Amino acid sequence: MGRSPCCEKAHTNKGAWTKQEDQRLINYIRAHGEGCWRSLPKAAGLQRCGKSCRLRWINYLRPDLKRGNFTEEEDELIIKLHSLLGNKWSVIAGRLPGRTDNEIKNYWNTHIKRKLISRGIDPQTHRPLHAAAISTTNSATAVFTTIIPTTTTKNISMDYENDVDQKPNIIINNNATSSSYDETKCNSGTTEETKPLEIIPQSTSQVMINLELSIGLPLHTDHISSAESTASYNFLATVAPPPTAAVPMAGAAEMVAKTVCLCWQIGFQGGSQCCGKCKNTTGFYRFC
C-alpha cells in the first residue's frame, strides 16, 4: 500500500540544523519528553519533519551521547557484534555506551571496513578474504541461540552450512518464549535474570549456543552490579568468535557490562508499561 508522507514537506526546513532549532528541540523534550515525533515539530515551533527531529535528537542532541573517537575496545566490540548480527546497527549501538546506530554505521563504513580488509578479513562475512576459494564442503554448522530479553525471546541461528557465499544465515526465531523475563519491567539485559550461556548440542555437526545477547543502552559503570558485569562478561567471553577474529575480551566485556533499562533503549510498544525509572539524571524522559 502506498504511504502518506511522514509530514507536510512543503513548509519544512531541510539540511543542517541551526543552534536555535537545536535549542527549541532540547527545550521541548526537556519539558515534555520524547515521543509523538509527528506532532512534536509543530508543538515545539519547529519547521522540521518529525523524523528529522527524532534523528537530530537521537544522533546528536541526546545528553548521554559520547562524542569523540572510538576506542580500540569499541572497535573490536563492533567487529565482534557485527560478525554475529550483521548490519543491525541499532542493536550494536545498544551495546556501546553513548554511541548511536548512525555513528557506528558511519564508522563501520569509513574505518572498520578498511581495517578488516587490511587484516585480510572480509567485512561482510568476517571470514578470510581468500575464504571463497576454500572448499565449501566444510560441513560444520554453528547454531547460536540468543535469548534477547525484549518483549519476546528470540533464537538466532547462524548457519554456515550450505551457504554459497560463506555468509552465515542469521535466523531469528520469534516463537521461543521467555519465562523469566517480565515484560512489564524495564530490566537491564544483563541482570541476574539472564541465564548463563548454554551450549545445546543439536546434532553431531551442530552446536547451539545461548548468546544472552540483550539489548540495552549503557549506564554508568557505577550502576552495574558485579552480577551484571559477570553475566555480560560471560556473554562475550564464551561466544564463539568468528573463525578469524582474535579479539581482546576484557575491554569489550567491560563495555558490554554497561547496560541499562530497556525502556530507555527500545521502549515498550504499548507505551503504557514502564518501570518508572526512565527519567535520567538530566531530567529527560525516555519512551515510556
Partner DNA sequence: AACAGAATCAACCGCACTCTG
Partner DNA sequence: CCAGAGTGCGGTTGATTCTGT
List residues near DNA by CB under 7 A: 1, 3-4, 6, 9, 13-17, 35-39, 48-52, 54-56, 59-60, 87-91, 101-103, 105-107, 109-111, 151, 266-267, 269-271, 287
Nearer to DNA, 55 or 208 (CB): 55
Shortest distance, CB of residue 142 to DNA, whole angstroms? 22
Nearest alpha-carbon partner for 243 in 147, 129, 148: 129
Q: In the structure grid, which three cell numbers stand for residue 126, read together?
A: 568476517
Nearer to DNA, 131 or 266 (CB): 266
Nearer to DNA, 91 or 231 (CB): 91
> What size, in residues, is the chain?
288
Shortest distance, CB of residue 267 to DNA, whole angstroms? 5
Q: What is the DSSP string of 46-64?
A: --S-HHHHHHHIIIII-TT
Q: What is the DSSP string of 98-164?
A: T--HHHHHHHIIIIIHHHHHHTTB-TTT-SBGGGGGS-TT---EEEEE----SSS--EEEEE-TT-T
Nearer to DNA, 32 or 195 (CB): 32
Shortest distance, CB of residue 196 to DNA, whole angstroms? 27
Nearer to DNA, 78 or 249 (CB): 78
Shortest distance, CB of residue 79 to DNA, whole angstroms? 15
Shortest distance, CB of residue 135 to DNA, whole angstroms? 28
Strand 199-203 and strand 169-173: the pairing is unpaired
Nearer to DNA, 39 or 202 (CB): 39
Phi-psi region of 174 (alpha: psi -120 to 50; beta: other; left: phi over 0): alpha
Shortest distance, CB of residue 112 to DNA, whole angstroms? 10
As a whole number of angstroms, the distance between CA 254 and CA 230 comes to 9
Nearest alpha-carbon partner for 214 in 199, 236, 198: 236
